[in-house]
Amino acid sequence: MYYLILGMGLLPRIWLQWLGRLLGLILYHGKTRSRRTSDRNIKLCFPNLSPLEHQQLVRDSLISTAQTAFETPGVWTKDSKHLLTWIDNVYNEDVIDEALSKSSGALLLLPHIGNWELFNAVFAQKGFQLTALFKPPKQRALASIIEKVRMGYGNEMVPTNPRGLVRLFKVLSAGGNVAVLPDQVPESGVFIPFFGFPAYTDRLVHRLTLKTGAVPILVALIRNPRGLFDLHYSAVPELEVEDELRGLRGLNDALEDLVRQFPAQYQWEYKRFKKQPEGANEVYSSD
């Protein structure tokens, strides 16, 4: 497995993206589970699309997700200075520079859009360390590879258990920087609207912000028409309010605004709505 990932990582970015496009088309035309889940999510979140617009978005999102999958070995194995050549434009960089200049730490929110793995290399070139939760995949060989390459940038990976959560609080309290995926379905959370539909949302980011004083920043690396990436930073001040529901509503509203700007690059094949309030119909019952 290691040598397969290493070999793929040697390929030029444009080849990796071409292979991803091919896989995305196979996922779309093959009527796979990825297509069925994407189709269902997009129907929920964009109910007013025409049939043609709907199918185009399903296809384009599967292509984007597959491109991210093929790009990732390159992100893991190429030199971070080389990976900076993948970055085309940076928007609102003052938001993160201001946060990093303070002693309160930065809480970096990386949703499932574009290629979030690329941020490890970008942040390393700023000379700062990231601490992030790491839930190993079921394949042990793959888990060790992922942990090794992410830590290669000087990052710290902590387990998704109470010990790992305590470590996140300690890092932020000491003025360090933590990365969290804010749109994963948690074990414990609260239902907050996302595109007007109940989405089980983790309380963690709100608690980290309030208890440590860290600056919450939404981060997205969006693939542009040139095949390069535009890096977007945006502040999420709503997370700093005391009211948990209001803060998390602000978070999901910020995520929704981002996805509406780049809908084809969101990972719609992820079952974001798999947990629903008691008595509600299952969203993915046919899958």
Tens digits of residue pLDDT in 225-253:
999 999 999 999 999 999 999 999 999 99
Name the helix (H) or strand (E) containing 251. Answer: helix 244-261
Question: Is 274 part of a structural domain of the chain?
Answer: no
**Which residues lie across from 109 on neighbouring strands?**
180, 218
**C-alpha dist (Å) from residue 50 to 3, 75, 84, 130:** 45, 36, 38, 42
Helices (H), 85-194: 93-101, 119-125, 140-151, 162-173
Total domain count, the chain = 1
Question: Is 217 part of a structural domain of the chain?
Answer: yes
CATH number of the domain that residue 24 is part of? 3.40.1130
* Closest to 105 (Cα-Cα) out of 203, 202, 209: 209
pTM of the model: 0.92
Identify the domain containing residue 204 by its residue range.
Answer: 2-265
Question: Is 278 part of a structural domain of the chain?
Answer: no
Per-10-residue mean pLDDT of the chain, 287 residues long, equals 71 94 96 94 97 98 97 85 93 93 90 92 83 72 64 76 91 94 92 97 95 96 97 94 96 97 97 92 80
Question: Is 275 part of a structural domain of the chain?
Answer: no
Question: Is 276 part of a structural domain of the chain?
Answer: no
Rounded Cα–Cα distance for residues 239 and 208 (Å): 9
